[in-house]
Chains A and B, each alone.
Chain A
Amino acid sequence: MAVKSKEAKPEAAGGQSPHPAALRLHGVRKNYGHVVGVDGVDLTVDEGEFFTLLGPSGSGKTTLLRLIAGFERPDAGRIELGGRDVTSMPPHLRETNTVFQDYALFPHMTVGENIGYGLRVKGVPAAERRERVERAVRMVRLVGLDKRRPNQLSGGQRQRVALARAVVNEPEVLLLDEPLGALDLKLRQEMQLELKRIQKQVGITFIYVTHDQEEALTMSDRVAVMANGRIEQIGPPLELYERPATEFVAGFIGISNLLTRDGIKFVVRPEKLHILLEEDSPEPGMTVEPGVVEQVIYVGQSTRFNVRLDQGEPLVAVRQNTEAADEALQIGGRRIRLAWAPEHTYVLDQQQEPDAKPASVENTKEK
């Protein structure tokens, strides 16, 4: 399942020859009373990897992050950082640093003091500390603001301070708990690229928690999709999107069209669907089904068609507006045919459906 996304990694000096994974989890479990937080997670993250835990709220992704940081102790299982068992090690001794969702900047310290705090408690000499803080301030583009207090900064600037404060310690693993959640869309997209740039620059392993699938796909080398305390699927973004293993993954990442034909449940992504009008004919080998366009939604760069197949299922088709979309907007309410290539469909695990039924209206799944 775990697909290596990076063959060659920038090698840190020293160490044993077979380099241990940055992070390894074995059967990690954590309950809160009767509520399951994390339910038996196995995971290996390579050094220098940008790894994302993606899932809805309550899926256990933040709990997993807190277990790695050491704020929580697992009920069962083992956590290894750089080959060392740290399961029962308190957070201040772990080689991890966290970027908190609410930033958790110390309000009584300046930006510079905040960033240098980790180095200070570790007894790094003042001269070296100053130099490293300065470098971190430059890296997150906050030059000239290091004498300010956190309450004199904007949300985006605070976010950068939180990042610099963690990165400056050069941890083995950097943990980021929905760090962009509080920022507006534009700033968030800007920071996504910035984070990716910084991660490449410092070469630290990032473990990133988010519920935003687009964010996960944009930044990550690999993504673990979580639900109900378990990992549903691990893989690089392309694999998750193109070949979702479960219905949950298919539904959570992107718009997914779920169909059951001849007892087989499968997914077709909206951009893989062709809309055929009366005069059009499908390319050879394509599956064709008739339906009605119920709604046409113009989204600027693309147009979305909500289609109801004659067999009952609603499907979404998307077309890029490479030309003016005026003509596309005219087909609302018309009968059309949808066509797709069989190689663009992905069959889901059948575990939820032991006895497959023939395709029928009862199997319709509403999104």
Chain B
Amino acid sequence: MEGRWTKLALRIWAALILLFLFIPILLIFFYAFNTSNIESWPIAGLTFKWFTATWNDSDVRSALVLSLQAGLAATALALVLGSCAAFAIHRTTFFGRDAVSLLFILPLALPGIITGIALNAFFNFGGITFSIWTIVVGHATFCIVVVYNNVLARLRRTQGSLVEAAADLGANGFQTFKDITLPLISTSVVAGAMLAFALSFDEVIVTTFTAGAQSTLPIWIFGQIRHGILLPEVNVVVSFVILVTIIPVLVAARLTGGGGAARVPAAR
């Protein structure tokens, strides 16, 4: 058993780590309300003017729309392909199944820069013009993985005899899927979709290599930081992105009962 002092020391250590992780993020929130456009501490005063300025900035708006569209499309693609792959791997046994499963998961572990460069080269090779669809394909590579992982984990936890029981009671394949399998995996599908969307919404690296002239929200932020002109607006946008990404992650963690769900975004 650890003593009282060890316990106390551990608590302080944990608190320090949390502060280290979250103080920079809190700082962004504060700067978003800063009256001055120079980032210095303490902030000069509180204002909402950057929020109105950001909302009226047409570049930000079009970037936001593109991010939402790309995120939704990539998520939809991932939902279909990821859950189908999970079913295939769960239900069948064939030579090399584990290897195939690893190949499905690999894009998540692969550095974004590799995925990005590879896709960029491939699109150029195929003579495909860069557009929202090239972004969608780029994002789908890792979105599929989170859906696949979530659904497969749920399928593995589900009692195998349930499907047999449904068949035994007279349900055909379609009825069994509709009445038994789908309700049992539905929360894992939703959780996978939310994580996929969150991943897509703040993706920079793969997007850089697969986007055309348009900017997604993270790309716009990246550009502004380099130019250093609209930093207060960047803070507003970043605060917004944080909220949009964190909410689905929290919901997903809830739906899958914590644990596994929270680990997935951290892997990237």
CB neighbours (8 Å) of B167 from chain A are: 70-71, 90-92
Interface residues of A in 78-123 (CB under 8 A from B): 90-93, 96-98, 100, 102, 104-108, 117-118, 121-122
Query: Can you sample 8 A-B contacts with CB below 8 Å?
Result: A97-B168, A97-B169, A104-B165, A117-B166, A118-B169, A121-B169, A122-B170, A169-B169
Asked if B179 and A71 make an inter-chain contact with CB atoms under 8 angstroms apart, the answer reads no
Q: Is the CB of B179 within 8 A of A102?
A: no
Whether a CB of chain A sits under 8 angstroms from the CB of B159 is yes
**B175 interface residue, CB < 8 Å from A?**
yes
Is B180 interfacial (CB-CB < 8 Å)?
A: yes
The answer to whether A98 touches B165, judged by C-beta atoms less than 8 angstroms apart, is yes
User: Is B172 on the interface with A (CB-CB < 8 A)?
Assistant: yes
Q: Which of A93, A106, A122, A166 contacts B180 (CB 8 A)?
A: A106
Report if A104-B184 is in contact (Cβ < 8 Å); known contacts: A91-B164, A92-B171, A98-B165: no
Closest to B171 in A: A121
Given the interface contacts A117-B179, A121-B179, does A106 sit within 8 Å of B162 by beta carbon? yes
Does B159 contact A104, Cβ atoms closer than 8 Å? yes
Nearest 4 CB-CB pairings of A with B? A118-B169, A104-B165, A104-B161, A121-B171
Let me know if B170 and A104 touch, CB within 8 A.
no
> How far apart sit A166 and B184, CA to CA, in the bound complex (Å)?
21
Is the Cβ of A121 less than 8 Å from the Cβ of B175? yes
**Please, what's the 1-or-0 string for B19-38, where 1 marks a CB less than 8 Å from any CB in chain A?**
00000000000000000000
Q: Indicate whether A64 reaches chain B with its CB closer than 8 angstroms.
A: no
B228 within 8 A of A: no
Q: Which of the residues A106, A107, A121 comes within 8 Å of B170, measured between beta carbons? A: A121
Q: How far is the CA of A259 from the CA of B199 in the complex (A)?
A: 76
Given contacts A121-B171, A121-B179, contact A71 B184 (CB under 8 A): no
Residues in B with CB closer than 8 Å to A61 are none
The residues of B that contact A71 with a CB separation of less than 8 Å are 164, 167-168
A165 within 8 A of B: yes
Interface of B is mostly: helix
B159, B170, B180, B184 pick with most chain A CB within 10 angstroms: B170
A106 to B168, CA, bound (A): 13
**Is residue A69 within 8 Å, beta carbon to beta carbon, of the partner chain?**
yes
Given the known interface contacts A102-B161, A104-B161, A121-B175, the answer about A69 and B168 at a Cβ–Cβ threshold of 8 Å is yes
Judge whether A107 and B184 touch: CB under 8 Å: yes
Tell me, in angstroms, the Cα distance from A70 to B165 when the chains sit together: 11
Contacts of B172 in A (CB 8 A): 92, 121
Digitize B127-140: 1 where CB-to-A-CB distance is under 8 Å, 0 elsewhere: 00000000000000
What residues of chain B lie closer than 8 Å to A165, measured between beta carbons? Answer: 169
Residues of B within 8 A of A (CB): 159, 161-162, 164-172, 175, 179-180, 183-184
- List residues of chain A with CB within 8 A of the CB of B161: 100, 102, 104
Please give the distance in Å from A267's CB to the nearest CB on chain B: 39
Extra A-B contacts (16), CB below 8 Å, given A102-B159, A121-B170: A70-B167, A71-B167, A71-B168, A91-B164, A91-B167, A92-B169, A92-B172, A97-B168, A97-B169, A100-B165, A102-B161, A108-B183, A117-B166, A117-B171, A121-B179, A166-B168
**Can you name the residue of chain A whose Cβ is closest to the Cβ of B183?**
A108
Name A69's closest neighbour in chain B (CB-CB). Answer: B168
Cα distance, A345 to B171, chains bound together (Å)? 52
A323 CB to nearest chain B CB (Å): 51
In the bound complex, how far is the Cα of B169 from the Cα of A117, in angstroms?
7
**Closest B-chain residue to A123, C-beta based?**
B170
Taken together as a complex, chains A and B put the C-alpha atoms of A122 and B171 apart, in Å, by 8
Q: Which residues of A contact B162 (CB under 8 A)?
A: 104, 106
CB-CB under 8 A from B175, the residues of chain A are: 121
Bound-state Cα–Cα, A96 to B165, Å: 11
Closest CB in chain A relative to B172 CB, distance in Å: 6
A117 to B171, CA, bound (A): 9
Q: Is the CB of A96 within 8 A of B171?
A: no
Most buried by A among B165, B166, B175: B165
Q: Smallest CB-CB separation from A168: which chain B residue?
A: B169
Task: State in angstroms the CA–CA spacing of A98 and B169 once bound together.
Answer: 8
* B184 nearest CB neighbor, chain A only: A108
Q: Do B168 and A91 touch (CB < 8 A)?
A: yes
A106–B161 Cα distance when bound, in Å, is: 10
Query: Assuming A102-B161, A106-B162, A121-B175, is B168 touching A96 (CB within 8 A)?
Result: yes
> Across the two chains, which residue of chain A brings its CB closest to B160?
A104
Chain B residues near A105 (CB-CB < 8 A): 165
> With the chains together, A128 CA to B168 CA distance in Å?
21
Residue of A nearest to B165 (CB): A104
What's the least CB distance linking A206 to chain B, in Å? 15
Chain B residue with the shortest CB-CB distance to A177 = B161
